[in-house]
Structure 1
């Protein structure tokens, strides 16, 4: 990574568009931080990979943790739900602290690194399951929430004109970064080595998050890239199409103002449904695969495929949303996620391994692609200045969805079996797609509501 020393302040100017939104233009990325802004995509991506295994690989360690600590499977599933709860709970307060300047991005990442390490240490040495709930569920979850919120919002601030693909790429690290650890936890870790494996993984991932976060830096408020004129269509065809399909927010909304538009509530509910289905799939795909008689290694492969497609799908859908619009892509993703739950159930019931792997991969795509859609859509609707807080409001739906998808999912499976649980999950995701039809950018008139002039130009004088 190369940097350039800045010896003098760089002049900038503030321009205002027809909606009254202000843009700060004139400063380049190198003027501000001494390096290209692409590093604010690469480094957040690395940071996201550092926290991914706690959610996506945790279920793969279930058998070892169950035997080593005598924890029931229900405890382990609820522990994942508690982790997701605290990961989401910290998003809004962390966003407020970040935007107030009291919590620099670098320190948020360091706190996240400490939480990551504490989580793995508690899984290795917890004398009682309550300690694991606190160490892994609470501290690791809060640390991951700090990292997640910081990384996702960082890339949106540095790429306000083309955030979909970049946000999706960074978001993808949260899934496929777990792939090596799925195989480590299922094929290498056992009762003889689980403590040093967990400690080694924790140290490595905490160091990864800390090193990446050390170089984080926010752009100034209202910053806009110097090479893109915010008042006219850009020359870059990619940026021009992205801005045409996903125009910038008409102004910078505070969290209170964003909530009053009603869009935050709709987005919160859609994410509640879809992320709950995603977490349910992560927690119970291994379970349904083993019940179908598939070997443990094959199930681990299915989980790895799910994580890989989950991560790469986030980047792909982000790129597609720049071309075709966030709302269209969000509805498409909800449908894909819902139908894939039926496919997983069907392939497990007929014990068809190739179909099980295919539908697991499709489910991974749908489950991952929802998150960059909401992250980018929040900035599109409400602006970048308060995006950490605004997205924290939307993302707080995982407070509930984590508990529903993992903990309550275990209750539903025990009472209704996999057939009832996966059928319900698919139906919930399809319903979320229906709700997403009602989303629209606040402050802009709906073209259907604009009435043509009854007297076209020239007729007044006729």
Structure 2
């Protein structure tokens, strides 16, 4: 089919970025932490659990959305995602207004979490199919919007919380974000199977190393490389989420910033989170996906051991910005890593399962740092633990140099017979 009969892939990319900006508002959650703890008399751990629930159900949403996307295409899935996402914020508004922590968990945590996951997987899988010539860069651009979501939301939310209150802030975000996600979803469409840009052939070492085979979801999950990618995303995400979930109160304690100024730190992390998704994804096209992940773990190991001693605003901001850069880099690189290993045809379902690591990673580290801060009054011990984890993680990207082959996958009937 000639290219002129197909939708403009660059317009699909623009829609993907706008949708991801809306979905990425979750990264600004820390601006709600102190107002909720102070205004509702909930504990820091209880408030932080809402963020954990949202990201855990985000992982559930990516699995549901990814598998459904492979059957019906991205438009329907993304539209339903927008409905769930917007309603979740509105329910959260009702919960806070009525001082119900449970309703807040159901709205923001469960409904918006599932909506985020279903929405997130759609542009990622779609862009990977439309841009085989720029797979790393363009999937990085697509998810960069998600990383930038807090940059837009955090300062607006911080001011609205002060002037109008938390319920009004949640309500407004639910209406605006829900409408925008539903509208941008209408631009999505998959290319014909096997489509390539006119005249393009893989020439770089990275593109040549990508598989020419197509793995189904079941076949991919029976390879050890699938679980290796799962573990790499889990560990990189755990490190970044720990800082993101407590960025505002951490900046207020360690550096002595005001709540409004600390919201600026959240925005800074958002900028570098977004930039890291593009930068490291682009670098992965040049030096390889595994090499990028090795650098992400190594850089963060150094930062985490230094972070508790950085008590000036400039040094603290630089450190958390680098963490944001590496955190975003993990998400920017993993979609192309997945497509290179298992092919793009069933990437929605395969990457949806890998993204379950994102939701799983939201459970241990944010709760650990919140609990340690609540019981000791300090963040230091939790930060050191993650630093040690990053050092141990360095071995995983080295193992990821071996690409899976379908001939090595044991069919289900054979594995059962054995």
TM-score, structure 2 length as denominator?
0.91
1:175 aligns with 2:144: no
Higher share in helix = 2
Tell me how large the CA RMSD over aligned residues is: 2.0
Cα pair distance change 1:444/1:345, threshold 3 Å:
farther
For 1:183-215, what per-residue CA distance to the aligned partner results, in whole angstroms no more than 9, with x for missing partners? 123234227433323222221111221111111
Cα pair distance change 1:381/1:193, threshold 3 Å:
same
C-alpha contact 1:119 1:136 (8 A) present in aligned 2? yes
Which segment drifts farther, 398-407 or 42-51? 398-407
The corresponding residue for 2:265 is: 302
C-alpha contact 2:15 2:184 (8 A) present in aligned 1? yes
Aligned equivalent of 2:323, options 363, 366, 370: 363
C-alpha contact 1:68 1:191 (8 A) present in aligned 2? no
| Deviation for aligned residue 1:444 | 10
For 1:389-440, what per-residue CA distance to the aligned partner results, in whole angstroms no more than 9, with x for missing partners? 1112211112321111222332244456411100111221232232221012
Partners of 1:66 and 1:296 lie apart in 2 by: 13
1:441 aligns with 2:403: yes
C-alpha contact 2:78 2:185 (8 A) present in aligned 1? yes
The corresponding residue for 2:113 is: 141
Partners of 1:382 and 1:52 lie apart in 2 by: 27
1:221 aligns with 2:193: yes
| Deviation for aligned residue 1:181 | 1.6
The corresponding residue for 1:288 is: 250
Cα pair distance change 1:359/1:310, threshold 3 Å:
same
C-alpha contact 1:309 1:361 (8 A) present in aligned 2? yes
| Deviation for aligned residue 1:329 | 1.0
Partners of 1:327 and 1:245 lie apart in 2 by: 14
Cα pair distance change 1:188/1:196, threshold 3 Å:
closer
Partners of 1:409 and 1:269 lie apart in 2 by: 21
The corresponding residue for 2:6 is: 32
For 1:237-256, what per-residue CA distance to the aligned partner results, in whole angstroms no more than 9, with x for missing partners? xxx33x54563213001122
Aligned-partner SS, 1:109: helix
1:50-449 alignment, distance < 5 Å: 50-53=22-25, 55-101=26-72, 104-126=73-95, 127=98, 128-190=100-162, 192-229=164-201, 233=202, 240-241=203-204, 244=206, 247-292=209-254, 293-347=256-310, 351-415=311-375, 417-439=378-400, 440-443=402-405
Partners of 1:304 and 1:418 lie apart in 2 by: 21
| Deviation for aligned residue 1:225 | 2.3
Aligned-partner SS, 1:178: helix
The corresponding residue for 1:456 is: none
C-alpha contact 2:61 2:116 (8 A) present in aligned 1? no
Aligned equivalent of 1:45, options 11, 17, 22: 17
Aligned-partner SS, 1:161: helix
Aligned-partner SS, 1:221: coil
For 1:34-57, what per-residue CA distance to the aligned partner results, in whole angstroms no more than 9, with x for missing partners? xx211221111111001111x211
TM-score, structure 1 length as denominator?
0.82
C-alpha contact 2:75 2:186 (8 A) present in aligned 1? yes
The corresponding residue for 1:15 is: none
Q: How many aligned residue pairs are there?
A: 401
Partners of 2:6 and 2:284 lie apart in 1 by: 29
Where does structure 1 lack aligned partners over 5 or more consecutive residues? 1-9, 11-26, 234-239, 446-462
